[in-house]
Amino acid sequence: MATWEVRWDGGYRRYREGRPVAGEALPSDLLTVGMGDDDVPWAHLLPLLWPRETPPGPEEGVEAEALLYRAVARAQAAPAALKFSWNHFLLGHPLGRWLEEAYRWPADEEGQKKERWVPYPGHRERLSALPAAPHQGSVGEIFGSGGVLAQLFPQFERRPGQEAMARAVEETLQKGGFLVAEAGTGSGKSLAYLLPALGRREGRAVVATRTLQLQEQLLHHDLPLALAASGPGKRAALLKGQAHYLCLRRWDELRRQGGAGQDPVFLAQVASWLHLTQDGDLGELPHSSLPVPLGVEPHACARRACPFFDDCFVWKARREAEKASLLVVNHALLLTDARRGGDLLPPYDVVIVDEAHHLEEAAAQHLGATIPRDLWRRYLREMASLPWPRELEKEASATLKRAGEALEDFFSALGRWGGTDEEKRWRDGDPKVAEAGERWGSRLEELGHLLGRGEAESESSFPFGGWRQIVAETIHHLNLWLHPPGGWVSFWQRPKGRDELQLSPLDAGSYLQEKLLSRVHAAVFTSATLSVAGDLSPFARRLGLTHYETLQTPSPFHYREQALVMVPVDLPGGSWDEVAPFLGELARISEGRALFLFTSYRALKACREALDRLRLDITFLSQGEDGSRSELLAALRQRGRVVLLGTQSFWEGVDLPGDLLRLVVVDRIPFPRPNLPRLEALKESLQEAGEPWFFRLHVVPAATLLQQAFGRLIRTAYDQGLFVLLDDRILYRSYGLLLLRSLPPASFLQGTREELLAAAQGFLQGTLSPFRFQSLEEVAEHLKKRRS
């Protein structure tokens, strides 16, 4: 047996045959596990054995020893088929040697029992976690103080706003039409729409969310409770796009090829997860992006002809969806299904859109078309390995080569045309780009004809038919991109350095009406941030709604006492080195536990560099530098004096209740960039029609984002914190009044940095009453009078 040297932050210990051993001489058969560049880093070992929820690496010897014994017991308890997969992928890898040694250690039967490989609860198990009530009853009976919810959930508190929303949703679903419902944070809107949707006697409702966080909240908490309260016989299901489910055929090909040059550690981790998952949902893997495409793709799916069809995760999910009276999907799947005429979701007559403030943006993206360069590179590689009839092999190779060359020429021409821009609107103004695009289109037409011949001459039409459809769709969208029809905008962009074409409708609302809303009996649009200064009509206009009901239920939180909004009036312009001491002192007062939000990554980086130069006793972590979004949020939850610096993805979907977050700082009013291609085209369209454009295109999205940023701060009735806006334009520009009135009714203070720091200290320590400050309503009223 080898001697194991287990390392942690600041020390090491050696083990042999399951016991610690002494001695400083370096054994020739040493196997290390732990920190840094060791043979087996904790970062490789732990996800292999705990593929979904990786325990953290140890910081001291006691933790290291306990984790080592747990890891050995878990490796020994693994099913034989999984051990075979590990050996298959990790043969010759240091991690494979670690496993061989772990199998030789003395068996710990008690430890193996604790570390059993128990399957994760599937979606269906999680949804049926609570016993069903004997009958449903009316909305009043369900939400009443002695009603069904109170009986099922002893902590349930009756909320008038929640009950009012449930009644409004119930009425809309019964009579038909549209409801726009803004429900303040903490009002319980999820149950307010789930219960009426489940209470219908027939038909199917689709609930569409944008963020994974809300889907998880529905799946783990709200939906099981709603199902139980709705009585027996009700079923719900979660359905994602095909690419979110592991393709068993693709996985089998990878396994047969021994990994085909891919990262063996990642593939071994997937093998571990596959022995635990019931849903095959790739989102269960702790990876922000997968290094290998593993999801199901429509063009490569043989459906019933696939040898793995009976066990296919996609078709299992679809069969569950067919039996459900309520489906939970995301915005992308809802809109893609609408664009394709309804071939992805089972029929439904009611749609409820949560996080609806994102619907127009999502419609512009998913009701249009995207052509990514990297994806087409992969498509061409995959088509090269198709089972071409022998007589077409040489022609296929030559055709694919020409198509690949034309692809690269086209995107190279786009790159030269785009220059240093991250995105640029196409106006049919560069003949070299147009010529290269037409040439790529011609090469794709040749490829389409060849795929048609392959489909006709091969023994099976699969997979040629699926590929031919992909090629035909791309030709169609490419032609539209090169020559956009009226009401559409074409642009080139490179998110994270990856080139892609985007084709979007300008009036997403009318397209949404045509493709989705005209097909349903009733629709509900809800969010905590739909209005501007209490007005819901701007949101309704963006969706093309003309006849609709509205509802606004306030948050149950006491914002006046819980939050203090501050705007410094003496900030120097242009230098983060002059602003950083103020931010550092705010972070000291809040003892870390802060979120600094920026409207650009450039500002984030400059601020972080300025803060680092101060050498404060606070840990600053930046998006894009210090870990993934989930890792940064985990660091804030686990440590004390931590400040996160983030851009767009941190403005919403962050849930840090209680003392986890006490300070939110926003660098500027979050107006969208004026040169965004779709925004630029919309501005031109509105100007031609003689309509005001600044309010719709800049003030409305800025108000929504400010509300979302504020919403990170107060998550429960017991939270308290500071919201600091480093932009005093809100105090004297005409749009400032609307932005202030869009925020919750918190306390407010404008003043010098010195005055704000003193107030911040007193507010958080409880030595200053919130009523010493003005309320936001009083400030807004004062500004209104001053301007009039």
Q: Mind listing the pLDDT tens digit for each residue in 80-103? A: 999 999 999 998 888 998 898 899
Q: Which pLDDT tens digit goes with each residue over 130-154?
A: 777 766 667 777 887 778 888 887 7
Residues 6+ apart with CB under 8 A from 527: 182, 183, 354, 355, 356, 357
| Cα 494 to Cα 414: distance, rounded to the nearest angstrom | 11
The answer to whether residue 28 scores a pLDDT higher than 70 is no
Percent of all residues in the chain with a pLDDT value above 90, rounded to a whole number: 67
Sheet holding 19-21, edge to edge: 19-21, 11-16, 3-8, 30-34, 40-41
pLDDT at 534: 94
Instruction: Name the band, by pLDDT with cuts 50, 70 and 90, for residue 650.
Output: very high
CA-to-CA dists, residue 727 to 118, 568, 586, 662, angstroms:
53, 8, 16, 20
DSSP 8-state symbol, 744 = -
d(CA 590, CA 760): 8
* Cα distance between residue 584 and residue 240, in whole Å: 43
Sign of CA pseudo-dihedral 684, 688, 693, 696: negative
List residues bridging with 423 in a β-sheet: 493
Banded pLDDT at 37 (limits 50, 70, 90): low
Q: For the segment 424-459, what is each residue's pLDDT rounded down to a tens digit?
A: 999 988 999 999 999 999 999 999 999 999 999 887
Find, among 470, 508, 176, the residue nearest to 349 by Cα: 176
Task: For residue 705, count CB atoms less than 10 angstroms from its CB and return exposed for 0-12, middle for 13-18, buried for 19 or more.
Answer: buried
- What whole-number distance in Å separates Cα of residue 352 and Cα of residue 517? 11
Write the secondary structure of 516-550 as one string of H (helix), E (strand) and C (coil): CHHHCCEEEEEECCCCECCECHHHHHHCCCCCCEE
Give bridge partners of residue 774 from the DSSP assignment. 748
Read off the tokens for 278: 């019931």
Q: Which two tokens stand for residue 611?
A: 């803060």
Q: Which residues have CB under 8 Å from 185's CB, separation 6+?
A: 528, 555, 557, 711, 714, 715, 744
Q: What local confidence, expressed as pLDDT, does residue 289 receive? A: 67
252: pLDDT strictly greater than 70: yes
Residues of the chain by 3-state class (helix, strand, coil), percent to 5? 50, 15, 35
Residue with more model confidence, 409 or 256: 409
Question: Of how many residues is the chain composed?
Answer: 788
Residue pair 274/268 in contact by the 8 Å Cβ criterion: no
> What pLDDT score does 26 carry?
56
φ/ψ of residue 285, rounded to 5: -75, 140
Predicted local confidence at residue 476, as pLDDT: 97
Question: How large a percentage of the chain has pLDDT more than 70?
Answer: 97
DSSP state of 220: I
Look at the alpha carbons of 7, 8, 9, 12 in this order and tell me if their dihedral is positive or negative. Answer: negative
Number of CB atoms found within 10 A of residue 129's CB: 14
30, two tokens: 């040493």
List the single range of 24-28, 300-304, 440-444, 749-753 with lowest mean pLDDT: 24-28
Provide φ and ψ at 92, rounded to 5°: 85, -5
- Joined tokens for residue 702: 């800025």
The three-state (H, E, C) secondary structure of 662-731, written as one string: CEEEECCCCCCCCCCHHHHHHHHHHHHCCCCCHHHHHHHHHHHHHHHHHHCCCCCCCCCEEEEECCCHHH
Tokens of 220: 């783990």
pLDDT of residue 555: 93
Mean pLDDT of the chain: 91
pLDDT above 70: residue 24: no
484: three-class secondary structure by DSSP: coil
Instruction: Decide if pLDDT at 285 tops 90.
Output: no
Would you tell me how many other CB atoms lie within 10 Å of the CB of residue 161?
A: 20
DSSP, res 499: -
Grouping H, G, I as helix, E, B as strand and the rest as coil, residue 224 is helix
Residue listed under structure tokens 């099981």: 224
Contacts of 528 (CB under 8 A, 6+ apart): 182, 183, 184, 185, 187, 189, 555, 707, 711
CB within 8 A of 342, min separation 6: which ones? 519
User: CA 771, 777, 779, 782 torsion: positive or negative?
Assistant: negative
CA distance 284 to 240: 13
pLDDT for position 29: 64
pLDDT of residue 126: 86
Concatenated DSSP letters for 442-457?
Answer: HHHHHHHHHHHHHHHH
Paired tokens of 103: 């199998």
**570 DSSP 8-state letter:** -
Neighbours of 244 (CB within 10 A): 19
Q: How confident is the model at residue 638 (pLDDT cuts 50, 70, 90)?
A: confident
Tokens standing for 700?
């409305």
- Report the Cα–Cα distance between both ends of the chain, in Å, rounded: 86
Q: Are 165 and 193 in contact (CB under 8 A)?
A: yes
* 3-class SS string, 323-365: HCCEEEEEHHHHHHHHHCCCCCCCCCCEEEECCHHHHHHHHHH
Beta strands at 3-8 and 11-16: parallel, antiparallel or unpaired: antiparallel
Give the 3-state DSSP-derived string for 131-168, with helices as H, strands as E and coil as C: CCCCCCCCHHHHHCCCCHHHHHCCCCCCCHHHHHHHHH
**Cα distance between residue 546 and residue 530, in whole Å:** 16
**pLDDT recorded at residue 23:** 62
- At 481-513, the pLDDT tens digits run 999 998 999 999 998 788 999 999 999 999 899
**Residue 318 buriedness (CB in 10 A; 0-12 / 13-18 / 19+):** middle
Q: Are strands 663-666 and 594-597 parallel, antiparallel or unpaired?
A: parallel
CB within 8 Å of 81: residues ≥ 6 apart: 275
How far is C-alpha 91 from the geometric centre of its chain's CA atoms?
A: 35
**DSSP 8-state symbol, 573:** S
Give how far the C-alpha of residue 665 lies from the chain's centroid of Cα atoms, to the nearest Å.
Answer: 22
Residue 700 binned pLDDT confidence (cut-offs 50, 70, 90): very high
State residue 119's pLDDT score: 92
**Distance between alpha carbon 631 and the CA centroid of its chain, in Å?**
14
Mean pLDDT of 313-323: 95
Number of Cα atoms under 13 Å in the Cβ half of residue 411: 19
- Token pair for residue 628? 């993934």
Write the pLDDT tens digit of every residue in 558-591. 999 999 999 999 998 778 999 999 999 999 999 9
User: Is residue 123 a contact partner of residue 313, using CB atoms and an 8 Å limit?
Assistant: no
